[in-house]
Structure 1
């Protein structure tokens, strides 16, 4: 699996647009998104195993509710699975929790991005619940993977993004606005 310090792989995938534009129907709801889209921004890229399942919409909706907080941090959110853009669109139309999703849903139908990241489940052949924070230069700064049966905490992704954006040493359980560690001060106290 790719991890911190690795370059996020090049990709070009079809996605269902975020927001109301994503509900306009085939031909109008789709957009191509690549690793070059949203240049200069932090990227939160998270994967779920399958559309029309049980845990996935809870996570996707939670990321959607926090979308403005990510935008406030100059970050974009991309959700992805190995389902097609048509399945994504149908799921959005028929699931109240994700109907108003503000970010795009990427379709990794050939599993190229999932395979390049090393996040395909060996038995099921679908993406694990992987989350990546990618800096504006395209380097992975944080990676987290959950098994198929355990949902993740999008609020933790914001906490880690905040810490990464300080470019300072952040102690355990650090939250935005908290004190960072100053090594020179720690050595003086000793």
Structure 2
């Protein structure tokens, strides 16, 4: 299996439901920006709305960091709208909900479950150059945490802006980082 880390995001053009409208989103829209792709199995399910609302509650923090969030499922943009209209929780979502009914985007990111026609819970952080810097894929029975994703995006942005520095375990914005060198070998 080849790693997707530091690979370029695929070219794509999909329909989305965003702020009450149907819009088209493509890889061109990401150029020069940080982005999070947040794949989930399906609308009108159980764990998915808890995750999407968690992301919605942190969306302003992501935006303040210059990050756009894109949720993605294999549902159509029509189903995204119907879910939005039917669910008080989903009405909180302000980020684009990408439609992937053919599974092309889910396959390109390596999260498609062919026999189910749905995606695994996959999270991908993409830098302004279009390179995937963080990947997290998990079984659909395990929900994610937007606070932890915020921390990871902050770390990715920090190391991108501070050449030669790395973020240790549990690093939080403002905490000490490390500058790898031969002098640190065996001393941490």
On whether the aligned pair clears a TM of 0.5, the verdict is yes
State the SS of the aligned residue for 1:36: helix
The aligned residue for residue 119 of structure 1 is 111
Deviation at 1:37, TM superposition (A): 0.8
Any idea what the Cα deviations from partners look like across 1:110-166, whole Å, max 9, x if unmatched?
A: 111111111112432211100000000100000001111111111111111111111
The 1:188–1:39 alpha-carbon spacing in structure 2 relative to 1, beyond 3 Å, is closer
The aligned residue for residue 153 of structure 1 is 145
State the SS of the aligned residue for 2:172: coil
The aligned residue for residue 58 of structure 1 is 50
Structure 1 distance, partners of 2:39, 2:58, is 16
The answer as to whether partners of 1:2 and 1:117 remain within 8 angstroms in 2 is no
The answer as to whether partners of 1:82 and 1:110 remain within 8 angstroms in 2 is yes
Deviation at 1:60, TM superposition (A): 0.4
* 5+ long unaligned stretches in structure 1: 23-28
Structure 2 distance, partners of 1:2, 1:88, is 31
Structure 2 distance, partners of 1:125, 1:153, is 24
Alignment of 1:32-71 (within 5 A): 32-71=24-63
* 5+ long unaligned stretches in structure 2: 160-164
The aligned residue for residue 14 of structure 2 is 13
The aligned residue for residue 173 of structure 1 is 170
The answer as to whether partners of 2:12 and 2:26 remain within 8 angstroms in 1 is yes
Structure 2 distance, partners of 1:133, 1:148, is 19
Deviation at 1:3, TM superposition (A): 2.0
Give TM-score scaled by structure 1 length: 0.89
Runs of 4+ displaced beyond 4 Å: none
The answer as to whether partners of 2:41 and 2:119 remain within 8 angstroms in 1 is yes
State the SS of the aligned residue for 1:68: helix
Deviation at 1:188, TM superposition (A): 10
The aligned residue for residue 105 of structure 1 is 97
Number of residues paired by the alignment? 181
